[in-house]
């Protein structure tokens, strides 16, 4: 009687992966910012240092130029040529010296860079706070000193300096990256030990608990948040374990009561009966039972009942219903009146939440008639000896729901070899993994296919088909099949 619940699948991502990803991205952003900031500082620091070095060089040179000024222009030119020639391209790329004596311009010729355009660019550098000027799309950095109408200019190409700076900055970047990788490794180890390992252990415990390991408990955790979560889970698990043990004990008691309701059919005459009962994998709100009663007029009362309720009270309701049917059958052969009498007594003693469905059939050998009445139970089937399958469609209200219900007794002529098949809705309402119910049409097809088999084999074939149809899913309802050859 229970329907499977459809569960929405939600795409989830691992928390620890997201934490590690966030931590590493944050670290990467910090390192990236630091690399950019460090490169910027390195660049401007190197330029400033180079400008200071060139200015210091110009201060040293200007003292010599001033002392040599009275010896003539040629002496000054030879001096700056030798000074400029002494500078190596590897340490001072694009090095050049120029002197302005009053209005006379003297440029070093050692590296063949002297030109009016270069001197003009060196003069323009005085207007730039960083001492930078441009010539022919190339930047130069210039150091300038001035004493008594003598000005000394010392310059180097910035593009050549840039290569040196890039090399130094690259080394700094490599050092920063190595430090960052070391920090990342240490950070990931810490996250793995402090978060990943405890969380994975906790998730594994939760999964085991969900799969039925009720004795699973969370390990000790040395962080407040995870420790509180572990403590609360362990408390909850203990409560659930205790409650489930109590529930299982009640359900086992209910199943024992249910099993005791089934009759011994081995000595019943005038019929060949096969009754198969398969309880639900999770006992709960559904209890089937069947009965075979020999009446005073020597007819046989066949009964299949499905009681809806919970735990031991439902099993007790089934036991009470069995007793009420047996008591009523001693006085009444008319099945409609029998059901009405049972309904009145059942409604008086049973809780409002409990109700039942029932199919009654009375086989009168002397009359060769089968009488039947249905109180909300699954329909019965009569397989005639001529292979025709008759569905016993008449049904009535469920026991215990309505205050003044009415049921109708039907009858059908029986030929030798006819077979009566009664079953509960655990057969027709079994659901496949795709959510398709087994249904009456498929039931009828199996009855047609195995109608000539002995009753025991026929019942087993039907049960096997239902089981295969369900697949690996749980059995949500009791299954009862009664097959009776009317002799």
The helices-and-strands tally (H runs, E runs) of the chain is 11, 15
pLDDT tens digits along 89-148:
666 777 889 999 888 899 888 878 888 888 888 888 888 888 888 888 888 889 999 988
Assigned superfamily of 262-486: PPM-type phosphatase domain (3.60.40.10)
User: pLDDT class for 391, splitting at 50, 70, 90?
Assistant: very high
In this structure, of 44-48, 301-305, 375-379, the range with the lowest mean pLDDT score is 44-48
Largest separation between any pair of C-alpha atoms in the chain:
157
pLDDT tens digits along 210-230:
887 888 888 887 778 788 888
Percent of the chain with pLDDT over 70: 91
Q: State the CATH architecture for 16-164.
A: 2-Layer Sandwich (3.30)
pLDDT the model gives residue 1: 42
pLDDT tens digits along 421-469:
999 999 999 999 998 999 999 999 999 999 999 999 999 999 999 999 9
Task: State the virtual CA torsion across 199, 205, 210, 213 in degrees, nearest 10.
Answer: 180
State phi, psi for 236 to the nearest 5 degrees: -60, -45
pLDDT the model gives residue 285: 57
Reference 407, options 341, 347, 331, 337; nearest CA is: 337
The span from the CA of 484 to the CA of 363, in Å, is 10
User: pLDDT class for 259, splitting at 50, 70, 90?
Assistant: low
Helix-helix angle 439-449:455-470, to 10 degrees:
140
**CA angle, residues 383, 386, 387, in degrees to nearest 5:** 50
pTM of the model: 0.56
Q: Does the pLDDT at position 288 exceed 50?
A: yes
Q: Which residues pair with 431 in a beta bridge?
A: 437
Reference 421, options 449, 459, 454; nearest CA is: 459
Cβ(404)–Cβ(388) below 8 Å: no
């Amino acid at each position: 009687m229970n329907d499977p619940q459809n569960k929405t699948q939600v795409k989830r991502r691992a928390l620890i992966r997201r934490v590690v990803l966030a931590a590493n991205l944050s670290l990467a952003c910090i390192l990236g910012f630091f690399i950019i900031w460090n490169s910027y500082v390195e660049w401007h620091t190197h330029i400033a240092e180079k400008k200071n070095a060139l200015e210091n060089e110009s201060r040293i040179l200007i003292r010599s130029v001033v002392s040599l000024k009275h010896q003539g222009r040629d002496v000054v030119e030879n001096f700056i040529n030798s000074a400029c020639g002494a500078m190596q391209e590897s340490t001072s790329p694009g090095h050049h010296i120029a002197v302005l004596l009053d209005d006379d311009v003297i440029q070093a010729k050692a590296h063949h860079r002297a030109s009016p355009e270069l001197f003009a660019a060196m003069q323009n550098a005085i207007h730039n706070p960083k001492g930078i000027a441009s010539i022919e799309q190339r930047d130069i950095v210039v150091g300038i000193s001035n004493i008594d109408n003598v000005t000394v200019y010392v310059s180097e190409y910035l593009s050549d300096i840039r290569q040196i700076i890039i090399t130094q900055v690259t080394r700094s970047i490599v050092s920063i990256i190595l430090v960052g990788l070391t920090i990342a490794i240490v950070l990931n180890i810490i996250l793995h030990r402090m978060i990943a390992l405890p969380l994975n252990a906790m998730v594994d415990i939760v999964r085991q608990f969900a799969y039925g390991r009720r004795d699973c408990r969370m390990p000790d955790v040395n962080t407040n948040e995870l420790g509180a979560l572990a403590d609360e889970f362990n408390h909850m698990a203990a409560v659930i374990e205790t409650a489930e043990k109590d529930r299982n004990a009640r359900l086992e008691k209910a199943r024992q009561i249910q099993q005791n309701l089934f009759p011994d059919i081995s000595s019943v005459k005038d019929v060949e009966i096969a009754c198969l009962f398969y309880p639900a994998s999770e006992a709960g709100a559904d209890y089937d039972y069947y009965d075979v009663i020999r009446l005073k007029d020597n007819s046989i009362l066949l009964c299949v009942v499905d009681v809806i309720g919970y735990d031991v009270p439902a099993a007790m309701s089934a036991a009470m219903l069995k007793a009420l049917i047996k008591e009523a059958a001693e006085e009444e052969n008319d099945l409609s009146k029998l059901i009405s009498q049972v309904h009145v007594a059942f409604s008086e003693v049973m809780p409002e939440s409990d109700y039942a469905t029932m199919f009654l059939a009375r086989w009168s050998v002397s009359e060769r008639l089968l009488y039947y009445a249905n109180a909300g139970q699954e329909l019965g089937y009569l397989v005639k000896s001529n292979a025709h399958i008759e569905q016993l469609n008449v049904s009535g209200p469920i026991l215990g729901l309505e205050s003044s219900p009415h049921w109708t007794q039907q009858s059908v002529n029986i030929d030798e070899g006819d077979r009566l098949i009664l079953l509960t809705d655990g057969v027709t309402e079994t659901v496949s993994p795709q959510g398709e119910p087994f249904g009456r049409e498929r039931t009828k097809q199996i009855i047609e296919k195995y109608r000539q088999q002995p009753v025991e084999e026929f019942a087993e074939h039907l049960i096997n088909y239902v089981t295969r149809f369900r697949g690996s899913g749980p059995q949500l309802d009791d299954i009862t099949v009664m097959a009776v050859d009317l002799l």
